[in-house]
Amino acid sequence: MTNQDLLAIAKEFESPVYVYDAEKIAFQYNRLKNAFSEIEDLRIHYAVKALSNISILKYLNSMGCGLDTVSVQEVMLGLKAGVAPKDIIYTPNGVSLEEIEEVVELGAQINIDNLSILEQFGAKHPEVPVCIRINPHILAGGNAKISVGHVDSKFGISIHQMPLLLRIVENTGMNINGIHMHTGSDILDIEVFLRASEILFDAAKNFKNLSFLDFGSGFKVPYTAGDIETDIEELGEKLTHRFKDFCKDYGRELTLVFEPGKFLVSEAGKFLARVNVIKQTTSTVFAGVDSGFNHLIRPMFYGSHHDIHNISNPEGKQRFYSVVGYICETDTFANNRRIAEITEGDVLAFSNAGAYSFSMASNFNSRYRPAEVLWYNGKAHLIRERETFEDLLRHQVVIDLETITSE
């Protein structure tokens, strides 16, 4: 997509607006596949929580991608998008036994991450195949806010609880068909990830009827030019060799599963916002846009970096701006960032807006959530309409105060 394409999208669909490049999604998907091309049975399950629009799910599924889901609602979205139940993995956290049983009825693969629910489920449904999520207690990412493999994480069953886990499996006679791990996002050190993989391999030796091993994801993507990222090709070479050795020792070929979310869609996304006002204080020049953390919460929530480009004046003189939103809270996207000279009415493009952007958006300050657009085959296709005032009212119930008072 060129700057002119993006400006045309902002004009046609209004700002703010999310735009996703289908070609980039396909590139990332094929890059991961190619890195593990020597694996006989590789399955990639896209993490729906990153971007859950059903058009995106349909597009990924058309390339052979399954889904990684964390709620019964995400499972239902996947089914609505035409994904076969067998191609959906359900890995919830902190949900009720009843929700898990709902998903069983829908036909998805169950992945359980705590001993309490594992025992309850095994006692009631010993015949249903279950994957077990372990916590290897290894952090493969550098940001504590997005690491889930640490010792106090609420995710997964501690590897140190393996004796109790095995006792539950034996007592219930349940069917364990997979072992899963996820260490967190922004993996940089391949060797750390491989050490976590060894823990997964050791855990897998305790189960005789496995059909797959799920290594999660968390691959780091670049957030700015020259930024470091996970070396997928190096990981593919090293993990492929180790996985093949394990399968040989195990006695049969298993399926290798990954669950990328951000890796597939982050770089494909742009978020376009129009500048409402330029405001100068004694020390700062603010560029205030027609959005806020209600549409892009990652900078405030995770401290994440998003490159910001003035696509209305890309060749303009570089100046320093603090880019902020219109929410009645602190909603800073960037502090003292060098950006081509901005004037009111310009359109700014935020990079890496494909993952955890719309999916974490809200109606805070009663603002509408923006439209979503898919750039496919050189054309812009609307895949979610901009919200309206009627959407804000849709599920509200207006009570009659006079009637209530008289009661």
| Cα dihedral 302→307→312→313 (10° resolution) | 140
**Residue 321 is assigned to a ligand binding site:** no
**Residue 107 is assigned to a ligand binding site:** no
**Residue 133 is assigned to a ligand binding site:** no
**Residue 326 is assigned to a ligand binding site:** no
Q: Is 65 known to be catalytic?
A: no
The one-letter amino acid at 126? P
Give me the phi and psi of 159, to 5 degrees please. -60, -25
**Residue 316 is assigned to a ligand binding site:** no
CA-only gyration radius of the chain, Å: 23
CA distances to 136, 146, 170, 275, 354 from 185, rounded to whole Å, are 15, 6, 33, 32, 15
> How far, in Å, CA of 50 to CA of 68, rounded?
10
- Max CA separation in the chain (angstroms): 77
Name the nearest CA neighbour of 113 among 187, 182, 201, 205.
Answer: 182
Give me the phi and psi of 358, to 5 degrees please. -60, -40
Cβ–Cβ under 8 Å, residues 258 and 44: yes
| Catalytic residue (one of 65, 131, 247, 328) | 328
> How far, in Å, CA of 141 to CA of 189, rounded?
8
Give the Cβ contact number of residue 150 at 10 Å: 14
Give the annotated binding-site residues for pyridoxal 5'-phosphate: 218, 356
Q: Which of the residues are catalytic?
A: 328
Give the annotated binding-site residues: 218, 298, 302, 329, 356
Give the annotated binding-site residues for substrate: 298, 302, 329, 356
